[in-house]
Amino acid sequence: MKGVVIKSTGSWYNVLSEDGQMIDCRIKGVFRIKGIKTTNPIAVGDSVLFELEEEGKGVIHTIHDRKNYIIRKSINLSKQSHIIAANMDQALLIATLALPRTSAGFIDRFLLTAEAYHIPVSIVFNKIDLFENDPELMDELNAFIAVYEKIGYKCYKVSATENKDIEVLRELTKGKTTLVSGHSGVGKSTLVNAMDKQLNLKVGEISDVHFKGKHTTTFAEMHPLSYGGFIIDTPGIKELGLVDMEKEEIADYFPEMRALRNECKFNNCMHINEPKCAVLEAVEKGEIAASRYNSYLGIINGEEMENTNY
């Protein structure tokens, strides 16, 4: 039988079969993925073949090749990675300018990772209700949005709790497998519940102490949408794993820098301090946003994200 992995809880996997049944499955044998060491052999979104056993349980024996996947770096020294999800059509990066504030650095790192994994991203600014009466914050938000729309990322302003402009997200996600990602507490689960009233994902309170979320969602989990498609709700993440990315490649995943790659004097230009660098010139003229360029420098200098909450 064929199915898709909806949830993983240790050694058991919930698989949604092609004919719509939810079946608990184990794995038979050893699954290894070429090139990467992972803590989990099978991830949410994996397309698998399994056999039914007695008592309605199943045994997974084959995983189909992944169209794509994203991984999270391990937090310990084992050098292992954890596959968050596989086979996505797109990602929604949920961001907020307040409670908690999403930094440009975080957004840029997420976009870089998604570019590298070939996952189209839209950015959803949630909690718009919090600053509709704050013109300064609203100006700041619009300036943020202008930066990302200019380089080709679609942006949305919504409020999950006020049900504001949620319909457009339904259209965007209908019939697709969509990863919903972003810091803890930005309202990912609330937003998914607003998009599909049939769902009832657990929503957390933001702790007053840090104004950061408390990681209410602890495992990535895939939810069938009543209007067609799937949502993968992830735990609030600090940062996706920039695994196996050479410093020289990074500018290629910044679309506005990629567009200038043949304009620099040196074809191996790193856009740091080289003469006749088209990227530096564009930054000076304001054609490339300073915030984006700063993110780029931070990433190639190997800076860790501050303000992390994972």
Q: Which stretch binds Mg ion (CB under 5 A): 4-12, 52-60, 215-223, 265-273?
A: 215-223
To the nearest whole angstrom, how small is the minimum distance from the Cβ of residue 189 to ligand GTP?
A: 3
3 binds, among Mg ion, Zn ion, ligand GTP, none (CB under 5 to 8 A by kind): none
Task: Give me the amino acid identity at 223.
Answer: H
Quote the tokens at residue 49: 């073949």
**Residues in contact with Zn ion by the rule CB under 5 A:** 264, 269, 271, 277, 279
Q: How far is the CB of 192 from ligand GTP (least distance, A)?
A: 8
Q: Does 234 bind Mg ion (CB under 5 A)?
A: no
Q: How far is the CB of 204 from ligand GTP (least distance, A)?
A: 4
Question: Which residue, 159 or 295, is less far from Mg ion as judged by CB?
Answer: 159
Binding residue (CB under 5 A) for Mg ion from 159, 216, 234, 295: 216
Residue 21 Cβ, how far from ligand GTP at the closest point, in Å?
28
**Residues near ligand GTP (CB under 6 A):** 126-127, 129-130, 159-161, 184-190, 203-206, 213-217, 235-236
Question: Which one of 113, 177, 217, 234 is in contact with Mg ion (CB under 5 A)?
Answer: 217
Pattern of binders to Mg ion over 118-157, x per CB under 5 A?
A: ----------------------------------------
Q: Provide, rounded to whole angstroms, the least separation between the CB of residue 107 and Mg ion.
A: 19
Which is nearer to ligand GTP, 136 or 205 (by Cβ)?
Answer: 205
